[in-house]
Amino acid sequence: MSQQRIDLIKEMLHKNPTDSYLRYAIAMEYLEIGNKAVALKELETVIKKDKGHVATYPVLGKLLEEKGKTKKAIEVYQSGLEIARKKNDTKVIGALSEALLILDVYDDQPY
């Protein structure tokens, strides 16, 4: 089923290659089938083109952690946290704060 969704999203991306939501959606589908390398590439593209797509930061950071790129993951978490605060996205703020806390990176700022 996921491959069918990937094909459908690819078709939609062909028509609208700058759509951040579609890029995020295809990344999540690639994660679903275990293709973390392609998912990582797609998530990095989302952040590069649309820094305000805050849902991407926790997922991208986690993938970077899994690849052993902890320093880069921390940078992603911190960047996302700053943007999520500006948008007052409490769900993402919580996820990113928790990720940083687990990595022993403390953030003194309140939500």
Q: Give pLDDT tens digits for 33-80.
A: 999 999 999 999 999 999 999 999 999 999 999 999 999 999 999 999
Q: What is the pTM of this model?
A: 0.91
Q: Are 53 and 46 in contact (CB under 8 A)?
A: yes
pLDDT at 2: 83
pLDDT of residue 108: 62
Do residues 20 and 46 make contact, with C-beta atoms less than 8 angstroms apart?
A: yes
Q: Indicate if the pLDDT at residue 110 is higher than 60.
A: no
Kindly tell me if the per-residue pLDDT of 111 is higher than 60: no
Nearest to 33 by CA among 53, 9, 14, 49: 9
Structural domains for the chain: 1-50 (1.25.40.10), 51-111 (1.25.40.10)
